[in-house]
Structure 1
Amino acid sequence: MNSTQFSNFKLAAYFDTGLLKYLFFMSLTLLYVLILCANVLLIVIICMNRSLHEPMYLFLCSLFVNELYGSTGLFPFLLLQILSDIHTVSVPFCFLQIFCLYSYVGVEFFNLAIMSYDRYLAICYPLQYNTQMTSNKVAMLIAATWFSPFLAVVGTISLSSSLQLCGNILNKVACDNYSIVKLACSDTTVNNIYGLVTTTLIVVALLILILYTYVKILKVCFSGSKQTRQKAVSTCTPHLASLLNFSFGCFFDVVQTRFSMNSVPVMLRIFLSLYFITCQPLFSPVLYGLKMSKICNLCKSLFCWKE
C-alpha cells in the first residue's frame, strides 16, 4: 500500500505525564521565547549597525536566522502535542516538518563551515583577506549555505514520500525521515544510498573542511605573536564551542534513532534526541553575544546607559 493511503502518522514516543505536562509546556514555552528574543535581538543589532556589516557578522546573522527557522519548525508543534491527548500528525505536515528540521541541520553545518573558512582567511592570510572575502563572495557563500541543504532535503522527501508503507506508527516525538523509511514495505536501497551520499557530502565533507581550517589556524597561533593568538582565541572559541555542542546533539539523535537505547531513561532519551534543535538555537546567540566584544558592547549599549 502507498503512504498516501495513511491520513496521518501516530507519534508513539509520547506518554502520559499527568499534570507534569503543564510544567513541560511552560518550560518549553519559556525556552522558545528566550530563543526568539536572543536571536531576533542579535539579528537586529547586526543589521542596524554598519560597523557589523563585515563577513564574519553577516555569516553570524545567517546562523541566527537559521536558529529561528529550525526552532520554529519544532517548538509550536511540540507544545501542541504536549497538551494534546491524541498524538497524531498529518502526512503532509509530517514531511513539511522533516523538511524544516533536516534543512536546518544542513544549513547549520554549512554556516559553521563557512565561518571557520572566514576565520582561516582572516588569521592565516590577513593581508589578502579583503581581496579574498569580497561582498560578492560572501553573498554566494550565504546563498550556497541555504540553497544546497534545501535541494538535498527535497530529494530526501521525494524518495520517502513515494515509498510503500506497512504502518504509520513513529516511535518519536517529532517526524523523522529514517523512522518513516523503516516502515517501508518496498525496497529502500535508493533511499539509503541517497542518504549516505548526502550525509557524506554535507556533514562529513564540511567537518573535514572545518578540521583542516582549525589545524591551519592552530599552526599560525603557535608560530605567531601573542596578539595573533589572542585574536584567534577571541574569535574562534565561540565558533568551536558552538560546533561541538551542535555535533554532540546531532550525533546522539542519529545514535538513538538507529540503535536501541532502552537502557537510557525515556525522558533523558527524548531530551537528548531533541538537544540539537532545542538547546543549540539558544546556546549560539548567547555564546556569540557574550564572547564577541563588538556584539557584547552593542548589546550593553541597548540596555545600559551612563548617568
Structure 2
Amino acid sequence: MENETVDMDILQLEGLKVSPQSAVPAFVLLLLIYIFIMVSNIGLVVLISMEKSLHQPMYLLFCNMSINDAFGATTIIPRLLSNVFIPITDRYIHYIDCAIQAFCAHFNGGTSHTVLMIMAFDRYVAICNPLRYATIMTNRMVAALSVVAWTVSFLLIAVSVGLSVRLSRCRRIVLNPFCDNPSLFKLSCENVLINHIYGLISAMGTMAVSLFSVALTYLRIAMVCLSSKNKALNSKALQTCTTHLAVYFIMLLSGFIIIILHRFPQLSDHRKLASVLFHVVPPSMNAIIYGLQIKAVRQKIMIIFKRNKMTVSVLK
C-alpha cells in the first residue's frame, strides 16, 4: 500500500506532442520566444526603474504587467523545453510540483485581468480628471492598487487549487501540456461538481468583471474625448488607450478561445495548443506594444541604443 501511495504522487505529464523530427525546431523556437519574453519584459522593468522621468503611475503599472508576463512564461515554458526530447511515456512530474505549476498558471492569468483593470482606472483618472490625477494617483495609491490586484487573484486561485488538492487521486496521467486546475481534479474519482462550479464562476466572473469595468471605463473616456475639442488631449488619450486595449483584447481573445475549445472534446489538441499560446503570445506582445507605442518609453530606448552605438564607435 505504501508503494502505491508513493507511485500516485508521481504523475505522467503529456507535455507538448511533437514528433522526433519536429523536436529540435520546436525546442529552438520555444527557447527563442522564452528568451525574448524575459529580455523584453525584464528590460522594460529595468528601464522604468532606472529612468526617473518614467517614475509615473502609468509606467509603474506597466511594471506589474511585465513582471506578471515574465512570471507566467517561466511557470510554463522551461518545463515544456525540458520535456521536448523526452518520450511522452517518460515525462513525469511530482504531484506537489504539478499543483504549484497549476496555481502559478492560473495566478498569472487572473493577475493579468486585475492588473489591466487598475491600468484602465489609471487611464480614466488621467483623461477624465486630469486636474486631480496627481492627487489621486499617488505612489501610495499605485502601490495599494497593485497589492489589491495581486492579492485578489492570489486568493481566488488559492481556493480553486485548494479544492482540487483536497481530493483523493485514482489516476496518474495529466492529459495536458502543463498542469492546470482541471488537470488536478480530473485525477480524482470523487464528485468534482464543486470544483467545476467554483472554477467556472471564478474564471468567468473575473473575465466578466474585467470586461465590464474596462468597457465602462473606456466608454466614459470616449464620451469625454468626443465632447472635448482639445486635439492634443484626444491624441494622447488615443495613443495610451489604444495600447492598453490592444494588450487587453489579445489576452481576452486568448482566454475565450480556450474556454470555447473546452466545449468541444474532439478539439482537445487545439485546446492544448491554445493553452500554451496563452502563456506565450500575450507576454511576447505586451512589451513590444508598450515599448514601441508609448512615446516616452520609445524615446528612452532610442537614447540607450544611441549611447551604446557611440560607446562602440569610440572603442573602435
TM range (shorter): over 0.9
Contact 1:253–1:274, Cα closer than 8 Å, also in 2: no
Question: How much does 1:272 deviate?
Answer: 2.2
Taking the aligned partners of 2:20 and 2:72, their CA distance within structure 1 comes to 29
Q: Measured at CA, do residues 184 and 3 of structure 1 come closer, stay the same or move farther in structure 2, by a change above 3 Å?
A: farther
SS at match of 2:168: coil
Taking the aligned partners of 2:264 and 2:5, their CA distance within structure 1 comes to 24
Q: 2:245 aligned with 1:243, yes or no?
A: no
- 13-22 vs 282-291, greater mean Cα deviation: 13-22
Taking the aligned partners of 1:156 and 1:223, their CA distance within structure 2 comes to 45
Q: Measured at CA, do residues 257 and 3 of structure 1 come closer, stay the same or move farther in structure 2, by a change above 3 Å?
A: farther
Aligned amino acid, residue 63 of structure 1: M
Question: How much does 1:88 deviate?
Answer: 2.2
What percentage of residue pairs aligned between the two structures are identical? 32
TM, length-normalised to structure 1: 0.92
Matched residue, 1:46:
48
Question: How much does 1:209 deviate?
Answer: 0.8
Cα deviations by residue, 1:98-140 (Å, 9 ceiling, x for unpaired): 1111000111111111001100111111111112212221111
Contact 1:66–1:108, Cα closer than 8 Å, also in 2: yes
Aligned ranges 1:40-189 → 2 under 5 Å: 40-85=42-87, 86-189=90-193
Taking the aligned partners of 2:62 and 2:105, their CA distance within structure 1 comes to 19
1:260 to 265, 285, 308: 265
Superposition CA RMSD, Å: 2.1
1:233 to 234, 238, 246: 238
Cα deviations by residue, 1:209-238 (Å, 9 ceiling, x for unpaired): 111101101111211122222011110111
Question: How much does 1:4 deviate?
Answer: 7.6
Aligned amino acid, residue 56 of structure 2: E
Matched residue, 2:314:
none
Question: How much does 1:198 deviate?
Answer: 2.3
Unmatched 5+ residue regions in structure 2?
Answer: 311-316
Taking the aligned partners of 1:64 and 1:176, their CA distance within structure 2 comes to 22
Taking the aligned partners of 2:299 and 2:18, their CA distance within structure 1 comes to 46
Aligned amino acid, residue 214 of structure 1: Y
Contact 1:3–1:162, Cα closer than 8 Å, also in 2: no
Aligned ranges 1:292-307 → 2 under 5 Å: 292-305=294-307
- 144-153 vs 285-294, greater mean Cα deviation: 144-153
Unmatched 5+ residue regions in structure 1?
Answer: none
Cα deviations by residue, 1:256-283 (Å, 9 ceiling, x for unpaired): 3343243x8x4x5543221211111110
Taking the aligned partners of 2:209 and 2:293, their CA distance within structure 1 comes to 28
Contact 1:42–1:285, Cα closer than 8 Å, also in 2: yes
2:198 to 187, 190, 194: 194
TM, length-normalised to structure 2: 0.90
Taking the aligned partners of 1:73 and 1:3, their CA distance within structure 2 comes to 27
Matched residue, 2:313:
none
Question: How much does 1:148 deviate?
Answer: 1.5
